Amino acid sequence: MISLLGSFPIACFSLTLAADIAYWQTENLMWLNFSAWLLAVGLLFASLAAIWWLLGLLLGWWRARGWTVVLGALVLIVAFLNNLVHAGDGWTAVVPLGISLSLLTVLLMSALGFSAASNRGQI
């Protein structure tokens, strides 16, 4: 279940970076709207995955591993900040801070994936 819930934020946050780059190149507001919606859906599913993970932690289904927990929290925090930045209007909502936060979110997700994979069976 956690891998199913976790796959949506990976897709949404990665596509947010792609939409931000498309907006930067074309200045078409459609890409800004795509970014905002992708961030909202990604945050929704990331929050559901975090709640499911915390429930499993409390019920003893798995144990927490240090860097995995820290990276997961950082992904949620940076994605939330990115959503606040994208709530602005037009160019300043994406360039340069929005793209930077989108890239940071994708990099943190990659680090989280590698951390979780190295702890497979221990999470």
Q: What is the pLDDT of residue 123?
A: 43
Dihedral sign computed on CA atoms, order 94, 96, 102, 103: positive
Rounded-to-integer distance, Cα 108 and Cα 114, Å: 10
User: Dihedral of the CA atoms 90, 94, 95, 96 (nearest 10)?
Assistant: 150
Per-residue confidence in pLDDT tens, the chain, 123 aa:
777 888 999 999 999 999 999 999 999 999 999 999 999 999 999 999 999 989 998 998 888 778 888 999 999 999 999 999 999 888 989 999 999 999 999 999 999 989 888 876 554
- Asked whether the whole model's pTM tops 0.75, one would answer yes
